[in-house]
Amino acid sequence: MQPIQLLAPEGNLVEDETYSPYIAALSDDDLRSLYRNMALERRLDAEATSLQRQGQLALWVPALGQEGAQVGTIAALKRSDMVFPTYREHAMALYRGITPVELITQFRAVAHAGWTPEKYNFHLYTVVLGAQTLHAAGWAMGIAQDQRTGSVPRGRQEDEIVLACLGDGASSQGDVHESMVFAGSYGLPMLYFIQNNHWAISVPSSTQSKAPLAARAGGYGFEGVRVDGNDVLGSYAVAAHMAEQIRAGQGPKLIESVTYRIGAHTTADDPTKYRSADEVERWKAQDPVDRYRNWLTAHETAGESFYDQVDEEAADLAAELRRATLAIQAQPLEEVFDTVYAEPHRQVEVEKAWLKDYEAGFAEDGDKA
């Protein structure tokens, strides 16, 4: 099962009867926007990594090398579609309008989350591997029920679909299996988006599965395809085609985006312990941002003035991210308890009272010993 590829690493745009029409429908502004979003995420990624190394973030999860897969896919969806991310979909978050500060709040560990999912139709990051796919299936079941009963809630769209993001490592989780069982059995309006970046922390994808991950979809009764995740145009076209089919009642679907994690799994990881420098260099030669920039330039869709403008915007984004990160105040610990449930809960109140008593046992700053 060869990955679908429209823009080759050498810069050649391949014609495909099924997918090329989706690219032909994009305006020059649309094409430039794909580059802009990839470049902005890459700059944010670098700045956030620096902030973590300087002790300003509890953790950071790099997405270096996966910008094409993420931007191409999210750009093909409607703003009304609900997205359930993992913890690495920074490009998707930025595309949906989540600000760098909102994004970084979660990694600074000062609040439950930095944004309200309903505002952006973008759920909170999920650290528990694969759990978001069950949440996505539940949301999709709600969509299906609303459509059957003609009771689509105000503010939601009748043709809404759900994007469930996961990695190659998470594809081995039981939660993912259960989610796909529900999706296949009930024909849910879901698009599974597996970013196969070749490494589940230190476990290679060749160990995760002896067959393409896209082939697993057939076991649940729906279609799966592979796409070159370092080809932003191919990623866009495949996602647009799949989304169109799902809206027509032919869901669910699955995309395996074959890409590569250039950086570490997280800033707590040292990838030099389990993969070679030669392997990384081979994939760097297929860099999605460079590949796309070369094509834009060759086809005179973008020039140096545009790239300079994007670079300036990216620099401003990084500077604002650093300033805002250092200014973020921790959420009062009591609020952590108060926002667990919508209504007062006895056990939570008991635990909050215990914490108050515990903290009262410590000396205040400046007290003499």
In three-state form (DSSP H/G/I as H, E/B as E, the rest C), the secondary structure along the chain is: CCCECCECCCCCECCCCCCHHHHHCCCHHHHHHHHHHHHHHHHHHHHHHHHHHCCCCCCCCCCCCCHHHHHHHHHCCCCCCEEECCCCCHHHHHHCCCCHHHHHHHHHCCCCCCCCHHHHCECCCCCCCCHHHHHHHHHHHHHHHHHHHCCCCCCCCCCCCEEEEEECCHHHCHHHHHHHHHHHHHCCCEEEEEEECCEECCEEHHHHCCCCHHHHHHHHCCEEEEEECCCHHHHHHHHHHHHHHHHHHHCCEEEEEECCCCCCCCCCCCHHHCCCHHHHHHHHCCCHHHHHHHHHHHCCCCCHHHHHHHHHHHHHHHHHHHHHHHHCCCCCHHHHHHCCCCCCCHHHHHHHHHHHHHHHCCCCCCCCC
Judge if the upstream peptide bond of residue 252 is cis by omega within 30 degrees of 0: yes
How confident is the model at residue 112, as a pLDDT?
Answer: 78
How confident is the model at residue 20, as a pLDDT?
Answer: 98
How confident is the model at residue 368, as a pLDDT?
Answer: 54
Rounded Cα distance, 272 and 147, in Å: 50
How confident is the model at residue 106, as a pLDDT?
Answer: 85
How confident is the model at residue 108, as a pLDDT?
Answer: 86
Q: In the chain, which stretches have pLDDT less than 70? A: 363-369
How confident is the model at residue 109, as a pLDDT?
Answer: 79
The answer to whether residues 111 and 105 touch, using CB atoms and an 8 Å cutoff, is: yes
The answer to whether residues 222 and 183 touch, using CB atoms and an 8 Å cutoff, is: yes
Rounded Cα distance, 225 and 302, in Å: 31
How confident is the model at residue 313, as a pLDDT?
Answer: 98
How confident is the model at residue 366, as a pLDDT?
Answer: 58
- Residue 306 token pair: 């545009």
Using a 10 angstrom Cβ sphere, with 0-12 exposed, 13-18 middle and 19 or more buried, the burial of residue 279 is: middle
